[in-house]
Amino acid sequence: MKPADLPPIFREWLSRDPAPAYLLYGDGAGLSGLLARAWEGKLRGAGVPIESFRWTLEDLARESPTAAWRSPSFFSRLRIFTLPDLAEMKKAHRDEIKAYLESPEPSATLILHGTDFRQARTFSSARNLLSDAPREGKATEALARYAVAAAAESGAKLTRESAIFLAGWVGASFDALDAEIGKVLAFAAGRGEVVEEDIRAVCVSRGAVDPWKLAEALVRKDGKACLELFRRFAATAESDDYHKLNGAVAWYLRSRIQGTRSGGAVTPRRAAEIFRVLSRIDREMKGESRLSPGQVYEIRLLSLLT
């Protein structure tokens, strides 16, 4: 990432020396990878030798985290550790991070994120920690800017509208967007411009379904059209695709409420009803239900279409 492409959403943080730790939560929880990439780009661009590590839950259990963070490197001036979701960590690991931040190692920066809003907001009171919970619009814009810059670096043009479409589909997740943008650019290679049709063809369950048409059918309670689209989607969908679909439907609904997407008004009652079910789908797919993601999704769709 070039200095000119550094995300404005992190401008205040990036204008200073790296902090001991950062925490992103709320709608911005999926931006931790973008923050790490931004710091890597800025520091390497300034000639600062760094090392960057992405730890999993297994790494936390296998390593001695505090010992690793407190061990300076002979090869770099700064080490960046991007850690797993706070909500998925054991309490012992969260407590260890808080204890470490009481007296952090100057040559290490921890990048944290939390998908459990209340838990992360409580954690944000830890010492030597900078935190932020960007709204969805800002998170989507940051991802779209990254996608446009990544396309330009590869010699392709990606319009802001198409980039926002892609960011909306991946559900405000930098890791998901970073994986998909490479596929999209490879698919559109040689044509110079990436359009929404390319993104649908590559990212939206192998192009079988337009998620916005599914969402529109859901809003207007067109059960036949909605279920036909969903079952076509499910025929080729993988487990993670259902999480993306949930994010895409929520994004579409918000854009309709805000008037940034055509299709007419959505009544507050219908919007609230759909958002409640989308939230329930999200919880159930993350472990509250023993059903498969496809089964969860179809059952909850039916409840919205009756």
Return the domain boundaries, the chain. Answer: 3-134, 137-203, 209-305
Using the predicted structure, report yes or no on whether residue 61 has a pLDDT greater than 80.
yes
Asked which of 11-20, 63-72, 80-89, 108-117 is least confident by mean pLDDT, the reply is 63-72
107 touches 18 (CB < 8 A): no
pLDDT score at 227: 93
pLDDT tens-digit readout, 158-193: 888 888 888 877 777 899 888 888 888 887 777 778
Predicted confidence band of residue 257 (pLDDT cuts 50, 70, 90) = confident
- Neighbour count for residue 92 (Cβ, 10 Å): 9
The CATH code for residues 137-203 is: 1.10.8.60
The CATH code for residues 3-134 is: 3.40.50.300
Phi, psi of 194 (to 5 degrees): -100, 130
pLDDT score at 128: 97
Tell me the average pLDDT across 4-9.
73
Residues 6+ apart with CB under 8 A from 112: 21, 22, 23, 24, 32, 83, 86, 97, 123, 129
118 touches 86 (CB < 8 A): no
pLDDT tens-digit readout, 135-157: 888 998 999 999 999 888 888 88
Who has greater pLDDT, 161 or 261? 161
Predicted confidence band of residue 247 (pLDDT cuts 50, 70, 90) = confident
Predicted confidence band of residue 261 (pLDDT cuts 50, 70, 90) = low
